[in-house]
């Protein structure tokens, strides 16, 4: 148990739809990162939020967006879903000053048909 | 662009065999290095990490890794694997000035036969 939860566990959407994934971080963690893990690959960094502002972004288009809330929860939003968006989406919470203590959630498996 | 390479995609071993999983990274500046493990159906867990100091680091469950700066490598080792080590292993790199962003390798799926 890492104290990081994600919802939903599984989700099926169709191309063109929009999806919101949720993450609840460990209490006190001011940084949340989101990763996309396609089947058979390692996680890829999407973006990071620190104190409710985006603080770094990987090679993902603007239709991937996020929010971080004061209660340590966060959201990943994906618009105009594409088939290649099918993946496991992971969030990780940490303190900005302690990159060695990232705690990963169990992930949300998104399938786009 | 920074990249992390894990050359062994699938490894099958018998119990008690020794394990070494390779990891190489391409970034030349200050880096922090990690190995994560993902057991079937479970979340990613930190096995061990290297930030500075002794290049041989020890982690949980008898795992260790050696940082060789000249080779840009951070290989994971275990002298004697157990069936319970069956999992997927990921090497990851964090640049010293990149916040908490991790760049992961593609992973190595380890199967240990009883």
Geometric angle at alpha carbon A99, from A97 and A103, rounded to 5°: 115
Contact call for residues A91 and A25 (beta carbons, < 8 A) = yes
| Rounded Cα distance, B101 and A48, in Å | 7
- Tell me the C-alpha to C-alpha distance, in Å, between residue B65 and each of A91, A109, B6, B79, B97: 26, 31, 14, 11, 23
Say if the Cβ atoms of B106 and A107 lie within 8 Å.
no
Distance CA A85, CA A112 (A): 7
Could you report the per-residue pLDDT of B41-52, keeping only the tens digit for each?
Answer: 888 999 999 988
The tens digit of pLDDT for each residue in A55-81 reads: 889 999 999 999 999 888 999 999 999
Mean pLDDT, residues A76-99: 91
Optimal mutation site among A34, A42, A44, interface B, most CBs of chain B within 10 A: A42
Q: What is the pLDDT of residues B17-42, one digit of tens each?
A: 999 999 999 987 888 999 999 998 88
Using the predicted structure, report yes or no on whether residue A1 has a pLDDT greater than 70. no
Taking a C-beta distance cutoff of 8 angstroms, is the pair A34, A87 a contact?
Answer: no
Nearest of B98, B102, B100, B95 to residue B27 by alpha carbon: B95
Would you tell me how many other CB atoms lie within 10 Å of the CB of residue A49?
Answer: 23
B102/A50 touch (CB, cutoff 8 Å), yes or no = no
CB of B105 less than 8 A from some CB of A: yes
- Mean pLDDT for A33-47 is 94
Alpha-carbon distance B61 to B51, whole Å?
A: 20
């Amino acid at each position: 148990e890492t104290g990081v939860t994600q919802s939903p566990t599984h989700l099926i959407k169709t191309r063109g739809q929009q999806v919101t994934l949720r993450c609840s971080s460990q209490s006190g963690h001011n940084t949340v990162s989101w990763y996309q893990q396609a089947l058979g690959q390692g996680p890829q960094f999407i973006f990071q939020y620190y104190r409710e502002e985006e603080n770094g972004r990987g090679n993902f288009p603007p239709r991937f967006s996020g929010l971080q809330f004061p209660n340590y929860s966060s959201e990943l939003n994906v618009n105009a879903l594409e088939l290649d968006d099918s993946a496991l989406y992971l969030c990780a919470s940490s303190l900005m000053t302690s990159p060695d203590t990232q705690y990963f959630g169990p992930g949300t498996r998104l399938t786009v048909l | 662009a920074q990249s992390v390479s894990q050359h062994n995609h699938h490894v099958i071993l018998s119990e008690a065999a020794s394990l070494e999983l390779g990891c190489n990274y391409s970034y030349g500046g200050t880096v922090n290095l990690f190995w994560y493990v993902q057991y079937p159906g479970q979340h990613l867990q930190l096995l061990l990490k290297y930030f500075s100091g002794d290049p041989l680091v020890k982690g949980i469950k008898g795992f260790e890794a050696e940082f060789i700066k000249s080779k840009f490598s951070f290989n994971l080792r275990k002298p004697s694997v157990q069936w319970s080590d069956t999992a997927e292993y990921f090497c990851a790199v964090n640049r010293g000035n990149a916040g908490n962003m991790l760049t992961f390798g593609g992973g190595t799926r380890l199967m240990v036969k009883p």
